Amino acid sequence: MAKKIAVFASGNGSNFQVIAEQFPVAFVFADHRDAYVLERAKNLGVKSYAFELKEFDCKEDYEAAIIDLLSKHAIDLVVLAGYMKIVGPTLLSAYEGRIINIHPAYLPEFPGAHGIEDAWQAGVDQSGVTIHWVDSGVDTGQVIKQVRVPRLADDTIETFEARIHENEYQLYPQVLESLGVGRK
Ligand code: GAR
């Protein structure tokens, strides 16, 4: 049986777009009702759901609503792609070992919400992209695959960032395929 994936994103959704062009995506979930990823999903004909943590009494209830969606669609693998929330114990205990994340740095270097900016500010001559299993820490789970991305002498933060994203767009499809997710 083909592995069913759901993609979670918080904003732009360019990684979602690359994935959805190559793999069947059962649905996309956005934790902001105005996230641009929802527009992308509509254009690609991918089902989407959006609701916000602040609409619930607590994170446990919010994540219980997410679990309902995942079980309703019989999702095998949760693909975080710019989902800027920490996965809490409710979702993690239900799906541990079935959630992966992409991070725009070479972990354990520059974890957190600003991996590209932090590497740039630190003046590194190389950073990278990492895809890892999600555990209870912040960007601490077991690495599945990572690549180095150089910072070139004439880079601006914009050209450096664009190179990181280009590498993300290559790496996520490779990893999904290696995990047994069938292409379209
Ligand atoms: C990506 O660069 C992803 O690696 C990063 O957010 C961006 C989302 O872009 N994720 C993190 O920083 C997680 N800590 P996108 O919405 O255009 O795919």
pLDDT tens profile 24-43? 999 999 999 999 999 999 99
What's the confidence (pLDDT) of residue 166?
A: 98
Nearest CA to 75 among 52, 94, 54?
A: 94
Q: How many helices (H) and strands (E) would you count in the chain?
A: 6, 7
Give the closest residue (by CA) to ligand 1 atom 1.
82
Q: Is residue 138 within 6 Å of ligand 1 at its C-beta?
A: no
Please list the residues that pair with 114 across neighbouring strands: none
Among the listed residues 32, 73, 103, 114, the single catalytic one is 103
pTM for this model (two decimals): 0.98
Using the predicted structure, report yes or no on whether residue 143 has a pLDDT greater than 80.
yes
Q: Is residue 17 within 6 Å of ligand 1 at its C-beta?
A: no
CB neighbours of residue 33 within 10 Å: 10
Using the predicted structure, report yes or no on whether residue 121 has a pLDDT greater than 90.
yes
What's the confidence (pLDDT) of residue 94?
A: 98
Task: Report, as an integer, the average pLDDT of 117-142.
Answer: 97
What's the confidence (pLDDT) of residue 171?
A: 98
Q: Is residue 111 within 6 Å of ligand 1 at its C-beta?
A: no
Task: Report, as an integer, the average pLDDT of 73-99.
Answer: 97
- Mean predicted lDDT score pLDDT of the chain: 97
Task: Report, as an integer, the average pLDDT of 135-140.
Answer: 94
Alpha helices in 5-114 (DSSP H): 14-22, 36-44, 59-72, 89-95
Strands (E), 76-164: 77-80, 99-103, 126-133, 143-150
Q: Is residue 157 within 6 Å of ligand 1 at its C-beta?
A: no
Q: Is residue 15 within 6 Å of ligand 1 at its C-beta?
A: yes
Nearest CA to 6 among 98, 87, 88, 86?
A: 98
103 carries an active-site annotation: yes
Give the closest residue (by CA) to ligand 1 atom 2.
104
Question: What's the gap in Å between 102 CA and the centre of ligand 1?
Answer: 7
Question: What's the gap in Å between 142 CA and the centre of ligand 1?
Answer: 18
Question: What's the gap in Å between 101 CA and the centre of ligand 1?
Answer: 9
Alpha helices in 3-147 (DSSP H): 14-22, 36-44, 59-72, 89-95, 115-122
What's the confidence (pLDDT) of residue 75?
A: 98
Question: What's the gap in Å between 119 CA and the centre of ligand 1?
Answer: 14
Using the predicted structure, report yes or no on whether residue 1 has a pLDDT greater than 80.
no
Using the predicted structure, report yes or no on whether residue 125 has a pLDDT greater than 80.
yes
Task: Report, as an integer, the average pLDDT of 1-14.
Answer: 94
What's the confidence (pLDDT) of residue 2?
A: 79
Confirm if 41 and 11 have CB atoms less than 8 A apart. Answer: no
